[in-house]
Each structure stands twice: as structure tokens, then as C-alpha cells.
Structure 1
């Protein structure tokens, strides 16, 4: 998906017809969003199999609140048996919450751009030098969404493993 987004971005920047450039730019925003979404969905499915089918709109909520319940339960057991102390419990929950919140914010921003690109054709993209904008969204920023999602997802998986909720799972790559 990321490759398709970058090719669409390249084509949009080089197309002199503003209508074609607009369509290509919109499609690039869309592909960058889906690359980040698919990376996240795969990670969530690796964390807990029934999370793989989570709807787009529900993923930020899952990242901000849904990860906590199983993590808290597992950490509580480990504190009770003496495997962890309260400080480790607090650190792991804090890291999980912060990473989940950062990824949720990234996906919300990307989803907003995707909705504009897909459902508001009256709002045209504009070029400013080598940057394409859709309202305040920059395509150069959108191109980083997949790698940022990858980074956050890798961190989530490390934390999930450290908590003891995951076996060895592959790094998400789309």
C-alpha cells in the first residue's frame, strides 16, 4: 500500500492537469491511510485474535482503552505472585497507554484525511511546490503514517510480550 501511495504521490506532483493531480493526490492519501490501518490491524490480531476484525472507527478506542483490561489483569497476577513489583506494573501500563494513545491519534488524523479524500471531492487538493495539501493535511506527512504505525505497533508488541500476553509474533509488515 505504501508503495502505491508513493507512486500516486509522484504522479500527482508531475501531472499538469489539476483534475488528474487532485484525483491522484486523493488516492495517495487513501493508500497511506490503509497502509497504516493494515499494519495496525495485523498487530492487533497478533495481540489477540478476535481483535483482527475490529472496524476502522473502533480501532482508536481499542488502542486507547481496550488494551488496558487484559494487561491490567495479567500484571495484577504477576504482582500478586511476586514476579513484578508495583513500579514495573505502573511502568508497563504507562508505556502501553502512551503507545496506544499515540497510535490512536495517528490513525484518527489519517482517517480524517481519508474521509476528506474519499467523500468530499468538492474540497480540492492543492500543490505548494513539491507538497500536496488536502485542507491542512500534507501528503508528505501522510507518507510517514505507515512507518510511524509500524514503529508504534512494534513497541506495542514488545510491551505486550513483556507483560506476558504474547508469544513470539512476527513484526507487522504491509
Structure 2
């Protein structure tokens, strides 16, 4: 998906027909969103298999609210058994919440751009120098969504393993 987004972005920047450039740019936003989404979906499936099927719009809610309950339960058991102290429990929960919230915010932003790209054709992309905009969204920023999702997902996996849920 990332490669396709990059190629579409390149084509959009080089196309002199504004209608063609708009269509290509919109599609690039869409592909960058889906790249970040698929990375996140794979991570959620790793964390808990039934989370892999979570609907697009529900993923940020899961990342913001759904990770805490299983993590807290596992950490409470570890604290009771003496494997962890309260400080470790607090640190792990804090890291999990912060990382989940960062990924949720990234996906909300990307989803908003994807909705504009797919369902608001009257809002045209614009070019300013080497940057394509869709409303307030920059394609140069969208290009970073997959790598940001990879970084945050890697951190979620590490925390999830450290909690002992994998």
C-alpha cells in the first residue's frame, strides 16, 4: 500500500491536468491510510486474535479504551504474585495508554483524510510547491502514517509482551 501511495503521489505531483492530479492525490491519501490501518490491524490481531476484525471506525476506541482492561487484569495478578511492583504496573499501564492514544490519534487523522478523499469529491486537492493538500491534510504528512503506525505498533507489541499477554 505504501508503495502504491508513493507512486500515486509522484504521478499527482507531475500531472499537469488538475482533474487527473486531484484523482491521483486522493488515491494516494487513501493508500497511505490503508497502509497504516493494515499495520494496526495486524498488531491488534497479534495482541488478541478477535481484535483483528475490528471495524475501521472502532479501532481508535479500542486503542484508547479497550487495551487497559486485559492489561490491568494481567498486571494485577503479577503484582499479587510478587512478579512486579506497583511502580512497574503503573509504568506499563502508562506506556500502554500513551502509545494506544498516540496510535488512535494518528488513525483518526488519517481516517478523516481518507473520508474526504473518498466521499467529498467537491473538495479538490491543491498543490503548493511540491506538496499536495486535501483540505488541511498534507500528502507529505500522510506519507509518514505507515512508518508512524509501525513504530507505535512495535511499541504496543513490546509492552503487551512485557505485560505477559502474548
1:158 equivalent in alignment to 2:151 = no
1:146 equivalent in alignment to 2:163 = no
Please identify which structure carries the higher helix content.
Answer: 2
1:105 maps to 105
Q: TM-score, normalised on structure 1?
A: 0.95
**Aligned mates of 2:62, 2:75 — CA distance in 1:** 19
2:128 maps to 128
TM-fit CA distance, 1:81? 0.3
TM-fit CA distance, 1:14? 0.2
**Aligned mates of 2:64, 2:157 — CA distance in 1:** 15
**Aligned mates of 1:70, 1:80 — CA distance in 2:** 16
Unaligned runs of 5+ in 2: none
Q: TM-score, normalised on structure 2?
A: 1.00
The aligned length equals 166
**SS across alignment from 2:53:** coil
**Aligned mates of 2:94, 2:4 — CA distance in 1:** 36
TM-fit CA distance, 1:46? 0.4
**SS across alignment from 1:83:** coil
**Aligned mates of 2:70, 2:120 — CA distance in 1:** 39
1:91 equivalent in alignment to 2:113 = no
**Aligned mates of 1:57, 1:25 — CA distance in 2:** 23
Unaligned runs of 5+ in 1: 167-174
Alignment map for 1:23-62 (pairs within 5 Å): 23-62=23-62
1:170 maps to none
**C-alpha RMSD of the superposition:** 0.2
- 1:67-105: CA deviation from partner (whole Å, max 9, x where unpaired): 000000000000000000000000000000000000000
**Aligned mates of 1:63, 1:150 — CA distance in 2:** 15
